Amino acid sequence: MSKRIIGLGVVLAAAGLGSGVQAADSVSGSGSVPLMNAEGQPADSPFAPRFAYAYASGEGDARRFRLVMTDAEPPRAAWDAAVDRDRARADWCAADSGSYIAFEMKATGEPEGMDRCGKGGMRSSSMVNTMNGLASIQVKLGVNDGKRLQGTIVTGDGACGNSGEPPKYCTDTGSFTFDVTLAIAPLMDRVWAQGKPDAPELAGARKALEAYWDAAGKAKAYADIASYVTSERRKQSEDQAKENAEFIARMFGRVFVPAHAGPLTIGEARLLGTDALLATTNPVTRREKTSTQTCRVLMRKEGDAWKVDKESCRS
């Protein structure tokens, strides 16, 4: 399971954990998103962004920015509340609500990839290609103060030009200018930053996570762990299975179960309201090679029971 798929006032604002109140943002430019053409074949369609939504997540070297440009007003409150914002925006696009181009970048602004979605849900994702000597995504940030992102992004294919001159794209695919307020940080980040590390309720969350992990490492099918996860996660898994049952079943057995087979060690934990975040480690063996997997697992209260929601892991 690789990572993809983790005081108030001035302190929160500096950490990107503030109220999420949006200032007047601006975005412009042009690019393309994937759509089905009249013949039912995938094709690129022109895209002109009118709105932007951006946020930061993670800490230290793992801190990342997500910048989402849309052609229709995004449901900001719903995205703020979503545990998995990547899925929330994909679902929004799939529901014919609008199209988007989303960029992921390091805290320094160095781009790592982009995700495009045309109205109706057709998606195309790509990493940064530098094999041609010219990065396929180039970001220049003029403002990166933990509150706002302002700058430009250009995208293209190939490296062309005359000898002795800086290379330029053989094909320009996008050019954007943006100035956007960072939205409130995702729930997992807020729980870790603001949660109580010594709350007595964490004992129940730890016990529930241990039971889930034991079941997950022995599971033969998704039904074996369904009772341990939140209703939202269960629905998402069922929806994915409907789309491609064979692939999901194969990944469950080959990836998910082995990632939970090693003994679990639970370290630090935080509680914020009825949400808990627990840091874990466990050994994972793949192709006879064993590595250490580190996770942050979001636990949520449903009724009187702790349930497992999102797992953010790396190894």
Question: 269-279: buried (b, 16+ CB within 10 Å) or exposed (e) per residue?
Answer: bbbbeebbbbb
Quick one: tokens of 196?
């109580």
Could you tell me if 33 and 116 are in contact, meaning their C-beta atoms sit under 8 angstroms apart? yes
Please report which helix (H) or strand (E) contains residue 189, including its range.
helix 187-194
In this predicted model, what pLDDT tens digit does every residue of 197-249 receive, in sequence order?
Answer: 999 999 999 999 999 999 999 999 999 999 999 999 999 899 888 888 899 99
What are the residue boundaries of the structural domains of the chain, listed by start?
10-186, 195-314
Q: Which residue has the tokens 């010594």?
A: 198
Listed in sequence order, the residues at least 6 apart from 31 whose beta carbon sits closer than 8 Å to its beta carbon are 46, 47, 49, 101, 116, 155, 173, 174, 175, 176
Question: Is a pLDDT exceeding 60 seen at residue 188?
Answer: yes
In sign, the C-alpha dihedral spanning 186, 12, 194, 273 is: negative
- Can you tell me the distance from the alpha carbon of 160 to that of 50, in angstroms, rounded to the nearest whole number? 31
- Cα-to-chain-centroid distance, residue 74: 17
CATH architecture under which domain 195-314 falls:
Roll (3.10)
Q: Which residue type does 258 have?
A: P
At 189, is the pLDDT very low, low, confident or very high (cuts 50, 70, 90)?
A: very high
Q: Cα–Cα distance between 151 and 179 in angstroms, integer?
A: 7
Instruction: Report pLDDT digits (tens) over 72-130.
Output: 999 999 999 999 999 999 999 999 999 999 999 999 999 999 999 998 899 999 999 98
Bridge partners (DSSP) of residue 56 are: 65
